[in-house]
Amino acid sequence: MRVYCGKDYEQASRIAANFISAQVIMKPDSVLGLATGSTPIGTYEQLIKWYEKGDLDFSAVHSINLDEYRGLTADNDQSYRYFMNTHLFDHINIDKKNTFVPDGTEPDAEKACRDYDEIIRAHGGIDLQILGLGHNGHIGFNEPDSTFCKGTHCVQLTESTISANARFFASMDEVPKEAYTMGIQSIMQAKKIMVIVSGEGKKDIVEKAFLGPITPEVPASVLQLHSDVILVGDEAALAGYHKALQ
């Protein structure tokens, strides 16, 4: 794994955006695996700036997002589809028909998951997968468990994830308790993976995920088995990782 450290969130976001730019420039019809959460927002803002300057062209790019809350419609401002539209897609020249997010409104969970796996398969997999990192080590919404779940599946979110997400909702009752998420196999089959981390709050889990034992109880630890992973973070998030290596 290669590790890139920016001094702060802004610099880490620029580093991450540079890797995505390089991917799109080298392969204009890349399939990008995209992530939500607060961490990649700075990366997306940087990509928009470079697009506006004329340095990037997303017209042939396809994107496949990691996850979506079950039950939220695309126009709900807390849905991940809404997040992707407002934080990235509305500001670049990607064709929205080529952007995929699990269908949170599909009540038949098996169908929603089967359809999404078929979308991933039909695209020939993912060229560059962007990942954030949950405080409990989740990636996408692959929560700590006793096994790794391979394909897209419906998850019951853990209490820690529900409370971490509560800040975005008016009340606890409105926080979705379930989500559809891409599975560990689809993530691990991506040709390249870039994990973005920021802030002191991620320090311990970064160390645990990338230097600790590989276990489904820390889903991100499986990334240690992938041959092309880049970890991009700011000093605060990488402090524990760097210290452990000294």
Catalytic residues: 67, 136, 138, 143
| Binding to ligand GLP in span 81-140, by CB under 6 A | 132-134, 140
Closest approach of ligand GLP to the CB of residue 173, in Å: 19
Told to check if 67 binds ligand GLP by CB under 6 A, we report yes
Cα 132 to Cα 217: distance, rounded to the nearest angstrom: 17
Closest approach of ligand GLP to the CB of residue 210, in Å: 15
Closest approach of ligand GLP to the CB of residue 182, in Å: 10
3-state secondary structure 8-56: CHHHHHHHHHHHHHHHHHHCCCCEEEECCCCCCHHHHHHHHHHHHCCCC
Calculate the CA 66 to chain-centre distance. Answer: 6
Told to check if 206 binds ligand GLP by CB under 6 A, we report no
Match 């496949």 to its residue by tokens: 64
Q: Which residues are within 8 A (CB) of 118 and not within 5 positions of it... i.e. 6 or more apart?
A: none
Counting every residue, how long is the chain? 246
| Binding to ligand GLP in span 138-197, by CB under 6 A | 140-141, 161
Q: Which stretch binds ligand GLP (CB under 6 A): 21-29, 36-44, 94-102, 184-192?
A: 36-44
Q: How far is CA 229 from CA 28, 128, 223, in A?
A: 21, 10, 7
- Identity of the residue, 134 or 233, whose beta carbon is nearer to ligand GLP in the bound complex: 134
Q: How far is CA 72 from CA 75, 144, 164, 182, in A?
A: 8, 23, 18, 17
List the end-to-end C-alpha distance of the chain, in Å, as a whole number. 17
Please pick, from the candidates 23, 36, 46, 221, the single residue that binds ligand GLP as defined by CB under 6 A: 36
Closest by CA to 206, choosing from 128, 106, 137, 120, is 137
- Identity of the residue, 24 or 175, whose beta carbon is nearer to ligand GLP in the bound complex: 175
Residue 162 φ/ψ, nearest 5 degrees: -60, -45
- Identity of the residue, 66 or 94, whose beta carbon is nearer to ligand GLP in the bound complex: 66
Closest approach of ligand GLP to the CB of residue 101, in Å: 12
Closest approach of ligand GLP to the CB of residue 26, in Å: 25
- Identity of the residue, 57 or 204, whose beta carbon is nearer to ligand GLP in the bound complex: 204
Residue nearest to ligand GLP (CB): 132
Applying CB under 6 A, what is the total number of residues that bind ligand GLP? Answer: 13
DSSP string, 171-193: SGGGS-SEEEE--HHHHHTSSEE
- Identity of the residue, 27 or 144, whose beta carbon is nearer to ligand GLP in the bound complex: 144
Contacting residues toward ligand GLP, per CB under 6 A: 35-39, 66-67, 132-134, 140-141, 161
